[in-house]
Amino acid sequence: MNKDDNISEEQLNAFVDGELESEERSCLFSEAERSPELNQRLCQQRNLKELVQHAYEDVPEPKRPLSGRRTRTSIIGMALAASLLLVVGVTAGLFMHGYLDRAPLPGGYAAANNPQAVAAMENYILHVISGEPEQMKLALQKAEELLATAKPGKPRKVEVVANEQGLDLLRSDVTPFTAEISALARENVIFYACSKAIMRLEEKGIEVQLVPEAIAGFTALDRVVIRMKDGWQYIKI
């Protein structure tokens, strides 16, 4: 029997994956120098690994809604996008709440040493993913409860973001809660419909009509990340 027949595939894998101890690795090197067959087996194993790496060096990105678009260099891209969206989102949010004349605008997202950041922890973003009426009702009750339990003189901000099946909450032709949504919107609760969830339904040929209180244009994830960066509390329902 040839000596390299004793070398298992597991050992070859461990070799190309850098999992062998130094001594065992040296032995295999020496053996490969003596045996062209073993050398070829090692080369094939490494080649296979490199082929897999090469095949996924550049993967196609999904089609994304405008606000959720990201570049391949997502670290910088996400940071810039998040900052931009934050400024736009917070400005829009404050404007819609009529807070511009009552509170100073945060410059970018809240800093840890900024008292506003501490205050932001009193704010909540509720994430609704379920299309079950009980869960939707629970989300609306939670929003109402959060408003009711705010400290006196410190109005609490609450946003509801819906995606996946939870989008039904904000679809005017589906939701059983139009009156409740309307009432909460009057209390300055903001409702966001995930733009990606909308796009998904539209791709299936479903026309999405939202209740007038709902705002589209953000993906659920972007909205949640923005608000959490701002120090808000996150509740998934």
Partner 1 sequence: MAYKKLLRISQRRAFRQLVTNNRQRLYRMAYAWTNDPHLADDLVQQTLLKALSNQKQLRDFAAAQGWLFRILANCLTDYRRAKREVLSADNLEVVDKVTPEHQFKDAQLVRKVRRAVQKLSINHRQVITLVDLEEFSYASVAQILEIPVGTVMSRLCRGRRALREHLLEMKPRESLRPVTNIKRT
| Contact call for residue 56 and partner 1 (CB under 8 A) | yes
Binding test (CB under 8 A) with partner 1, winner from 5, 24, 29, 105: 29
Beta bridge partners of 19: none
138 CB contacts (<8 Å, ≥6 apart)? 237
Instruction: Check: CB of residue 114 under 8 Å from CB of residue 225.
Output: no
Looking at beta carbons only, is 103 or 121 nearer to partner 1? 121
CB of 116 to partner 1, least distance (A): 11
Cα dihedral 200→203→205→209 (10° resolution)? 50
Binding to partner 1 by CB under 8 A, coded x per residue (else -) over 193-212, reads -------x------------
CB of 112 to partner 1, least distance (A): 4
| Contact call for residue 26 and partner 1 (CB under 8 A) | no
* Residue 92, number of CB atoms within 10 A of its CB: 13
Residue 65 tokens, joined: 């809604």
Residue 48 tokens, joined: 């296979």
| Contact call for residue 228 and partner 1 (CB under 8 A) | yes
| Contact call for residue 165 and partner 1 (CB under 8 A) | no
Looking at beta carbons only, is 190 or 220 nearer to partner 1? 220
> Which class for 131: exposed (0-12), middle (13-18), buried (19 or more C-beta within 10 A)?
middle
**Amino acid in the structure at residue 5:** D
Contacting range for partner 1; rule: CB under 8 A; set: 34-42, 83-91, 144-152, 205-213: 34-42
Kind and range of the H or E element at 79?
helix 74-97
Q: Is residue 221 helix, strand or coil? A: helix
| Contact call for residue 47 and partner 1 (CB under 8 A) | yes
Residues that bind partner 1 (CB under 8 A): 9-10, 13-14, 17-19, 29, 32, 39-40, 42-56, 58-64, 70, 72-75, 78-79, 82, 110, 112-113, 117-118, 121, 127, 200, 219-221, 224-225, 228-229, 231, 234, 236
